[in-house]
Amino acid sequence: MSSSTSNVPGQREDFYARIDAYNAAPLWEVLDDLVPAQPRGRCIAALWRYAQLRPFLLESGALISAREAQRRVLVLENPGCRGEARITSSLYAGLQLLLPGEVAPSHRHSQSALRFVLEGSGAFTAVDGERATMHPGDMILTPSWTWHDHGSEVDEPVIWLDGLDIPLVQFLDCGFCEQLGEDAQSLTRPEGDAYARYGSNLLPVNYQARGLHSPVFSYPYARSREVLETLSRTDAIDPHHGVCVKYINPTTGASVLPTISCDIRLLPGGLHTRSYRATDARVFAVVEGHGRTRIGEQSFEWGPRDIFVVPSWVPHRHEADSDAVLFSYSDKVVQEKLGLWREHCGTD
């Protein structure tokens, strides 16, 4: 076929239709989308104001019980991916409510999860036989295929941010879930046992890893905040991240979960960070303080308990009006393992 003939649009469309019958398609029609010059996913910048969502979350408590729902959660859907239960292309986020006296029944699943407590104290999460009491700012892990349940014996609602790798596991078609059949699992260890064994730069002499996740599943905010405060007095403030530390598996130094990276940062009042972008889309939850984050051409004002997302490879910068603490999570650990993660630190 001559070059002039091959360029006739009608002949191309006829060709595409004929190969379509054999479940084939022309790469040259989609190559720019499949191999773009830079990331251009459907995840877009967005912010969820806690004050606006909290009334709806409490209203849901009158509509369905935690036991009936299994997990009473409002999913935070990225505006660019509505109907897909994802806040980024690979991660899920939701606000979960537990009312006084309620139990969220015990189950386990192949998806890895973190719980970041936003409001209320005294409820608990039990993970593989050990309880952790919840306080605002605490991060609690429920790693892949670990039994976990939640309960409340306090007289106030407790609300936390759920972060899971549901979209990633869904993409890989490797999701499993199992119900224990009871509201609560049997407790086999006292509260604080995991931290005593693994969280003090000490390990039992016969320690053997039982997975790729951290054996410590509760990271109290009181300890994290103390670390941030100490480093803010002794270290130079990073111009792109403020005072930022990552949550780690204390036995390996790796990420706390094999699919989710977590960190927490202090932005001293008045700090305007420099422009920064990376290939991991990142979910932020505000713990303390007020300020704004400029994401691309948009600016998002935030305060305590607000949640926002920065898409992949979009420049952003934080501006703190007062001392602020931001928790965040992303799929950075996955990208690093695959040799795909990239960052760019701006000078402005």
In a domain, 300, yes or no: yes
pLDDT(87) > 60: yes
* Residue 153 structural domain: 41-345
pTM comes to 0.95
What is the C-alpha separation between 118 and 134, in angstroms, rounded?
10
In a domain, 4, yes or no: no
In a domain, 34, yes or no: no
In a domain, 8, yes or no: no
What is residue 264's three-state secondary structure? strand
Instruction: Work out the average pLDDT over 42-54.
Output: 98
Ramachandran bin of 129, using left for φ above 0, alpha for ψ from -120 to 50, beta for the remaining angles? left
- Mind listing the pLDDT tens digit for each residue in 130-177? 999 999 999 999 999 999 999 999 999 999 999 999 999 999 999 999
Among residues 308, 311, 299, 314, which one has the least CA distance to residue 344? 314
Confidence of residue 117 (pLDDT cuts 50, 70, 90): very high
Q: What is the CATH number of the domain that holds 233?
A: 2.60.120.10
| Number of folded domains that form the chain | 1
130 contacts 193 by C-beta, under 8 angstroms: yes
In a domain, 186, yes or no: yes
In a domain, 26, yes or no: no
In a domain, 6, yes or no: no
Predicted local confidence at residue 9, as pLDDT = 83
What is the C-alpha separation between 25 and 343, in angstroms, rounded?
34
What is residue 341's three-state secondary structure? coil
- Mind listing the pLDDT tens digit for each residue in 7-20? 688 899 999 999 99
In a domain, 183, yes or no: yes
Other C-beta atoms lying within 10 Å of the C-beta of residue 123: 25
- Find all residues with CB under 8 Å of 69, minimum gap 6, and list them: none
What is the C-alpha separation between 217 and 247, in angstroms, rounded?
11
Predicted local confidence at residue 139, as pLDDT = 98
What is the C-alpha separation between 46 and 34, in angstroms, rounded?
25
169 contacts 175 by C-beta, under 8 angstroms: yes
